[in-house]
Copies of this chain bind each other. A is one copy, B any other.
Amino acid sequence: MNNETTKKEMNISLGVVHDVGRNVSPSMTVYVKDPKPRFEKYYTLKRDKVNVTRIILGSHTGTHVDAPSHFLPKDKSIDEEPLSKFIGEAVVIDLSKCKTQHNSFGITDVDLEQYSSIVNPNDILLLNTGTGKRLIRFAYLEISAARWILANKIKSVGIDTLSIEKYGSKDAPVHKLLLSHKIGIIENLNNLLKFVNKRMFLVCLPLPLRGVDGSPARAILLEMIK
């Protein structure tokens, strides 16, 4: 772990915008029992000379950001979250081997510690697990990994699975630990594999839905120039 101070400036390339979010559609995978997306034609070109759609979405559908109020009573909703948590230097690490190492798919502090030389304080840590499309048996953070994230002053954590929490967990200890310490959580990212071991500039923007516990978000990576 380096102890660099947080950079206040960044030189970025505008050559390519890398989309690391998932497309949202009625046929997409959502967390078990969550609302399915639905797009209803509200106006149509043929009848009304304009297309407008009524969109129905879960607050944690597709690539999304969790607000603290997802699990913590009276804590911040998504419109109250500072966007700076979801904008900045991101390092992508590969945990896809954990699924063979651990039968339970749980990512531990030991798994994360292997990458300590490339992770800096105030980084956004993006986890490629390769289990992104699984409904139930997806990789998740053990509480030891959440503690590692706190100890290493990570700003936000992103993952390519439906949740950072073990499927079926009732008490959500990982969410509660991270959210209560103001660590951002981005779930259901996509296309992280090609950025493994790279340092990129992440911009992940949730919608400012007043009083809501989270929001679908678009997430992009831009290249940084040294």
Contacts and interface: CB of A to CB of B under 8 A. Distances in A.
Contact of A79 (B12, B23, B58, B71): B23
Interface in A164-208: 170-172, 203, 205-208
A27 to B, nearest CB: 9
Contact of A42 (B15, B58, B203, B220): B58
B53 A212 contact: yes
A214 B170 CA distance: 37
- For the complex formed by this chain, how many copies does it contain in all? 2
A55 B19 contact: no
Nearest to A57: B55
Nearest to A24: B209
Interface residues of A, number: 65
Contact of A208 (B8, B13, B15, B23): B23
A151 interface: no
B55 A60 contact: no
Contacts of A52: 34-35, 58-60, 70, 213-214
B171 A49 contact: yes
A208 B24 contact: yes
Contact of A209 (B35, B39, B70, B84): B39
A82 B213 CA distance: 29
Contact of A7 (B14, B210, B212): B14
Contacts of A59: 42, 52-55
Contacts of A158: none
Interface in A34-93: 34-35, 37, 39, 42, 45, 49-60, 62, 69-71, 73, 79, 82-84, 87-88
Given A23-B210, A50-B172, A55-B56, 8 more contacts: A17-B84, A24-B209, A24-B210, A39-B209, A42-B58, A45-B71, A55-B55, A56-B56
5 contacts: A17-B83, A23-B208, A49-B71, A50-B71, A54-B58
